[in-house]
Amino acid sequence: MSSLPEARPIELSAGTSVLGSELEPITLAVHEAGPVGGPAVVLCHGFPELAYSWRHQLEALAEAGFRAIAPDMRGYGQSDRPEAVEAYALDHLMGDMARLLDALEIERAVFAGHDWGGFVVWGMPIAYPDRTAGVIGVNTPYSPFPRTSVLRQLFADDEKLYILWFQRPGIAEAILDRDPRLLFEKLMRGGAAPEQTLAERAGSEDAMDANPFRRLGELPELGVPLLSAAELGVYVSAYEESGFRGGINWYRNIDRNADTFPQIGVQQLELPCLMVTAEWDAALPPSAAQGMPALCTDLETKMIEACGHWTQQDKPDELNAILVDWLKRRFA
């Protein structure tokens, strides 16, 4: 099990977002490794995860001479969890990353993001171009935000798609908070071949049900468990303390994000970009990144075979090799 340096609280000063909204002071729990003077790489996790999800990468990047920085994003783990749903809009999330650089006295960084963290990092060169040296998407492609109105054209019943189910305050978190262990035991597993996934769907009462979170107890256990007992305990302890509300609030801002940042996923990016896809990620398949070459003038794309959604923990050695190779060639 890779070790993770102990987190230290970093207080972010009040400020103003790129949209002109007030950014309240907030404290993030931040894990760091590597030389302070090395090129900075900020690692942004997704849902339902923690900075801990980057433990294998933090160690590898530090050994390669980079200053690796992994925060518990707002709403997660040991970081602050504001009450207002609007406090989790994208301008606040990106504002946190810019203010984190200020607090650490870093001028520019490469931002790497997985899952929801991917949406944050792909927005950074648009919102904070002077602070963004490069972008790495892990599973998450550079694309516009989905709108709930469009998703409802595909799923008439909100309960059948987790993103829509998450929109109703108090519902999802009340269910998930009851048993965090069950969630991580069922979902944080290695990738399953498409034929296994299709077979599981064929045996389901509703093949269009894309909401595993409300039926965790019924889910078959596809793929091998990714977490040891000790690693599982880290996630369970963190979510027993924080609950899931903060992370779910990120989803409750997707329409606001689409309205306020329509250029994300449309505007051309002219900085070094790396897109790492995972062959067996059903939520963010490699095909979702097919349009990126037309939008990114300096793009490299790599696919990790037989890898599911939790790439950093499913295929850590393969991901580390890709990250270190690209970062050394472009930023060492």
Kindly report the CATH number assigned to the domain that includes residue 49.
3.40.50.1820
Looking at residue 207, what is its pLDDT? 56
Asked if residue 171 is part of any domain, the answer here is: yes
Q: From the candidates 72, 80, 91, 115, which is the catalytic residue?
A: 115
Total domains in the fold of the chain: 2
Do 2 and 59 form a contact (C-beta atoms < 8 A)? Answer: yes
Instruction: Count the alpha carbons within 13 Å of 80 in the hemisphere toward its beta carbon.
Output: 17
Known catalytic residue at 80: no
| Of the residues 206, 222, 251, the one at which a domain ends | 251
| Of the residues 194, 224, 251, the one at which a domain ends | 251
Asked if residue 3 is part of any domain, the answer here is: no
Asked if residue 307 is part of any domain, the answer here is: yes
Asked if residue 256 is part of any domain, the answer here is: no
Per-residue pLDDT of the chain (332 residues; tens, 9 = 90+): 577 899 999 999 999 999 999 999 999 999 999 999 999 999 999 999 999 999 999 999 999 999 999 999 999 999 999 999 999 999 999 999 999 999 999 999 999 999 999 999 999 999 999 999 999 999 999 999 999 999 999 998 999 999 999 999 999 999 999 999 999 999 999 998 887 654 454 445 555 689 999 999 999 988 999 999 999 999 999 999 999 999 999 999 999 999 999 999 999 999 999 999 999 999 999 999 999 999 999 999 999 999 999 999 999 999 999 999 999 999 98
53 shares a domain with 193: no
166 shares a domain with 238: yes
Residue with the two structure tokens 């694309």: 143
Asked if residue 70 is part of any domain, the answer here is: yes
Looking at residue 202, what is its pLDDT? 44
279 shares a domain with 141: yes
Asked if residue 91 is part of any domain, the answer here is: yes
Q: From the candidates 31, 56, 114, 309, which is the catalytic residue?
A: 309
Looking at residue 200, what is its pLDDT? 56
| Of the residues 232, 251, 270, the one at which a domain ends | 251
Looking at residue 264, what is its pLDDT? 98
- Looking at the chain, list the stretches that DSSP marks H as alpha helix, in order from N- to C-terminal side: 55-63, 90-103, 116-127, 148-154, 162-165, 171-176, 180-187, 194-202, 229-242, 245-251, 254-260, 311-314, 316-331
116 shares a domain with 156: no
**Closest Cα to residue 12, out of 97, 77, 118?**
97
Looking at residue 196, what is its pLDDT? 65
134 shares a domain with 245: no
140 shares a domain with 158: no
Which amino acid does the sequence have at 205? E
42 shares a domain with 130: yes
Known catalytic residue at 309: yes
Asked if residue 305 is part of any domain, the answer here is: yes
Burial 68-89 (b: 16+ CB within 10 A, else e): bbbbbbbbbbbbbbeeebebbb
Looking at residue 199, what is its pLDDT? 46
Tell me which residue range forms the domain holding 52.
8-146+261-331
267 shares a domain with 296: yes
Asked if residue 21 is part of any domain, the answer here is: yes
Do 302 and 277 form a contact (C-beta atoms < 8 A)? Answer: yes
Consecutive H or E run containing 132: strand 132-138
233 shares a domain with 160: yes
**Closest Cα to residue 314, out of 279, 290, 287?**
279
153 shares a domain with 283: no
40 shares a domain with 107: yes
139 shares a domain with 18: yes
